[in-house]
Each structure stands twice: as structure tokens, then as C-alpha cells.
Amino acid sequence: MEGVLAWLIITLIKILVILGIVLGVGAYLTLVERKVAAHIQRRPGPMVVGWHGLLQPLADGLKLLTKEDLFPRYGNRFLYNLALVMALVPATLVFAVVPFGPEFEVFGVKVKPILTDVNIGLLLVFALGSMAVFAIALAGWASNSKYALIGSMRKAGIVVSYEVVITFAVMGPIILAGTLSTYDIVQKQIEQKLWYMWLQPLAFVVYMFAMLAETGRVPFDIQEAEAELVTGFTVEYGGMKFGLFPLVEWYIEVLSLSAIAVVLFMGGWSPINIPFLGFVDPLFFLGPLSPFVWFILKVSLLFLFVLWLHWTLPRYRIDQITTTAWKVMLPLTFVNLVLTAVIAPLIWR
């Protein structure tokens, strides 16, 4: 009984910590993006609310909360609200299978910094990712707006195309590790003293390319091309609902897919990896906190890379995006699978 109670308490703490971190960090990533964009364009960015604009996300949230929540005439109110829930919940649930660090002890109880370490963790990620199509389609159709419907159809087409690509891209690390457990995949890389990014460079590049498309980041933001569709499938949403869609799509999803990329290709919480030589930990002085800091640094690096591309590249057309997925990216993943089939027996020895 005591064991069950301890498990329940630890699980509840994990849920609260993960929700707090994801939603809190997601909100403040809006400020990070605005600051990064400002420095790229040689301007200061938000500076008024708080020191160097540190309270800007709170001001933005307060502004959205005080705005009127309008509903489009002849729209479907139930599906209109359901679309937001279907977008927010799966994007947040992905973090349930993200391992933030190695196992540690608290008062004699072993704790894994992962909400649920299931042996089909990556399968759960794919299942949750596929739900984004339904949320987007519902948002466009329930709004009863031509702009929203066109934007949702564009986004749904992109997600369907690149969901296939991203699934085949991660097959390489899965084959090398021999498991679908995210925690075990990191452990395998640590045991083999080799990040899978070095063995799977093609899969890593394809994954990052598909991640940009999945999250609607430039150059794949055709679903909301401002000159054509205003803001796409969110055009009829107002108030906090209008703010939550970008929070989910641009920040929480990018954060979750970056975390999965770190788990699959960059050794999770492991320190710097020199191929075939081992690990080097310049942060050894942090002691048991070092693995968690490394995980955060890697995810932050990938997120900043996405922001850099967002504010650098021009937008693709919808035909260019889908053609690239089916005629370029998908064949590259097949090539990678063939190469992995050759490499895997050497790794398993």
C-alpha cells in the first residue's frame, strides 16, 4: 500500500512539474522569439514591460484574457471549442514520454524523470502527433470561414505528408536501439558511447526538415500566409483562444519535437559526444544536475536553430512543400533505412 501511495504522489508531482514547465516555458518562448527576431533585424525588441521586456508574456496574456471572445455566426460552437482542446492536449501529452535525465533517488525511492516509461513510447508520440490533423480540420470547418477552411486544408495536407516522412526518419534510431522506449534509446546511446546523430546524419536532417513543416514554421507557414489568408485556420478565433493556437503550434510542438530529436539523435541527457571516443563533460562541476542541464541546452539549441531559420528563409508554395515531402524527403528516408540495415549488425556486435 505504501508503495502504491508513493507512486501516486511521485506521479502527481511529475504531472504538475511537467505541466508547469511546458506551459510556463511555452509562454516565455514567445519573448525569446521576439528577442531573437529583433537581434537578427538589429533592433532591441520588447523593452518596456519589465527589465528588458521580461514581463512582456504576462502582459500579452493579460491582454488576451481581457479581449472579447467572439464566435462566428453559423459556426459550430462545440467543434469550434473542441478543436482547441484537441490541439492543446496531445501536444502537451508528448512530454509524458520524454526523459529529462537519468534515474535518481529521493528519500530512498528511485525516481525516473519521465512521466511514463512505456516500451511503446515513440508509438505514442506518433499517435498523438496524428491528432493534430483532426484539430486543424475542425478549427477550419467549425469557423464557417473560407479563409479558415483553406488554411486548415493546407495545414492538414502538410501534416499528413510530413507525418509519414518523420515516421520513417525515426526508424533508423529505433532499429539501432532495438526499442521504442525513449528512456532505453538514450541509455543505448550512452552504453554505445555514440550519439545516433553521427550514425544517422541523413535521418537527422530529414527529421529537422519535417519538424519545421509539422509545426508550420517558415518556410512552411503556407497555412496562414498573411497576404492570402490573414492568419489561416485561426482567423475566427479571438481572445485567449487566438493566443493558445500559436502557443501550441509554434512553441509547445516545436519544444516537444526538439526534445524527441535530442532523445533520438543527441543522446538525451548525455554530455558532449566525440564519435567513437566517448563523452566529455565540461559541466562536471554541477554534479547530479549536469545531465538535466545538458538536456535543456540541447533542446534550447534546436529551438534557436528553428527560430534562426524562421527569420531567415522565404515561404514555400504549397505545391513545393508537398512535392518535396513525397519526391525528396520520403525517398531519402528509404535510403537511410537501407544504410541502417547495413550498419545495425555492426552496432549490435
For residue 321, being part of any structural domain is answered with: yes
For residue 122, being part of any structural domain is answered with: yes
First-to-last alpha carbon distance for the chain, in angstroms, is 43
For residue 29, being part of any structural domain is answered with: no
For residue 48, being part of any structural domain is answered with: no
- pLDDT at residue 228, as a whole number: 66
Please answer whether residues 104 and 111 qualify as being in contact, where contact means their C-beta atoms are separated by less than 8 angstroms: yes
* Binned average pLDDT, 10 residues per bin, the chain of 349 residues: 68 79 81 86 83 84 80 79 84 88 77 82 85 81 82 83 90 89 91 89 93 81 69 76 78 89 92 84 84 92 89 81 89 91 72
- pLDDT at residue 129, as a whole number: 81
- pLDDT at residue 197, as a whole number: 92
Structure-derived torsion over alpha carbons of residues 315, 318, 319, 323, reported in degrees to the nearest 10: 80
- pLDDT at residue 205, as a whole number: 94
Q: Which amino acid is at 303?
A: F
Q: Which three cell numbers stand for residue 246?
A: 500559436
Tally of domains in the chain: 1
Task: Pick the closest to residue 338 from 200, 211, 206 (CA basis).
Answer: 200
Domain that holds residue 249: 74-348
DSSP bridge pairs for 279: 273
- pLDDT at residue 227, as a whole number: 64
For residue 291, being part of any structural domain is answered with: yes
For residue 189, being part of any structural domain is answered with: yes
For residue 9, being part of any structural domain is answered with: no
Neighbours of 44 (CB within 10 A): 10
- pLDDT at residue 334, as a whole number: 92
Please answer whether residues 26 and 247 qualify as being in contact, where contact means their C-beta atoms are separated by less than 8 angstroms: yes
For residue 191, being part of any structural domain is answered with: yes
- pLDDT at residue 187, as a whole number: 92
In angstroms, the CA 168 to CA 209 distance is 13
